[in-house]
Amino acid sequence: MGELPSGRPTQAINVGNQTPLILTGSQSITSLPYDRQIERSLPLDRPQIQTAFDRLYGGNTALDRTYQEGRAAREILRTELQKEMVDASRGAPGPSSFRVSVEGLARLLNGDAQTQIAFLSVGGWDTHINQGGVQGQLARQLKPLGQGLYQLTQALGSGFDDTIIMVVSEFGRTVRENGNGGTDHGHGNVLWLLGGSLRGGQIYGNWPGLEDEQLHEGRDLAVTTDFRDVVAPLLTQGMGIKATSLQQVFPGYRVQQQIPLL
């Protein structure tokens, strides 16, 4: 975020109630609660309290600027999402939390908020027991994830051409089923990429195979591509970050593979 154009109060959006590790650092972010909790009034929204805090933090210190950026970001979010509230309140039942979050996020990406980075967390993938196949808890998780991703692409409209969506997990699963009908934490993993400008419709990377001698430590899918090699072209070609600035994003790492994603 420090290498992207600054001066935007909603430069990065986190959809959720906790700050994820990927957005933890010195740069300011804006958190957007799930559903429409952003519309609920806070004590700070009362004019008297706003005025008092504006006077208290009206200077130019780091704390003052943090408060000012937070206030500006909240006003932008409330204004943008208020339009969705009006459109969706014609007697119809509200959509699921994930779908609402996706639609609100698309509105922010397309609107005046000028959001550059957004993060949305989806849990429930630790399938140690009764994972299932076509039916089961994994399939029950994959279905709303797929529906949400489709909803996001549709809600973005023409903005999808200028958006890159990455679905990533911090760990994989073991190749073999455990004694409880599930899988345990594994090594190799997969990244999903969606975007109108991507060279999609194909699988990148090398497939090592699933024979015992091809597995990592005899139990896991082997890693053949470092995730940073995937993210690098998305940052440079997709977001305009200079190649020399990748050292700020991935300290001490040099890209090993040039992957033609864009």
Write out pLDDT tens, residues 177-191: 998 898 998 999 999
Q: Does the residue 3 lie in any domain?
A: no
Same structural domain, 54 and 35 = yes
Same structural domain, 104 and 12 = yes
Q: Which of 92-96, 129-133, 146-150, 227-231 has the highest mean predicted lDDT (pLDDT)?
A: 227-231
Q: Does the residue 110 lie in any domain?
A: yes
Same structural domain, 219 and 243 = no
pLDDT band at 12 (very low <50, low <70, confident <90, very high): confident
Give the mean model confidence (pLDDT) for residues 90-102. 47
Which domain range does residue 184 map to?
128-224
The pLDDT tens digits of the residues spanning 184-241 come to: 989 999 999 999 999 999 999 888 899 999 999 988 999 999 999 999 999 999 988 8
Same structural domain, 217 and 139 = yes
The pLDDT tens digits of the residues spanning 139-177 come to: 888 888 888 899 999 999 999 999 999 999 888 899 999
Which residue, 228, 262, 224, is CA-closest to 248? 228
Give the mean model confidence (pLDDT) for residues 30-58. 70
Q: Full-prediction pTM beyond 0.85?
A: no
Q: Which two tokens stand for residue 225?
A: 């591509």
Q: Which residue shows structure tokens 């039916």? A: 135
Q: Does the residue 2 lie in any domain?
A: no
- Decide: 165 and 194 in contact? Cβ < 8 Å: yes
State the pairing for strand pair 117-120/192-194: unpaired
Same structural domain, 146 and 84 = no
Q: Does the residue 140 lie in any domain?
A: yes
H/E stretch holding 119: strand 117-120
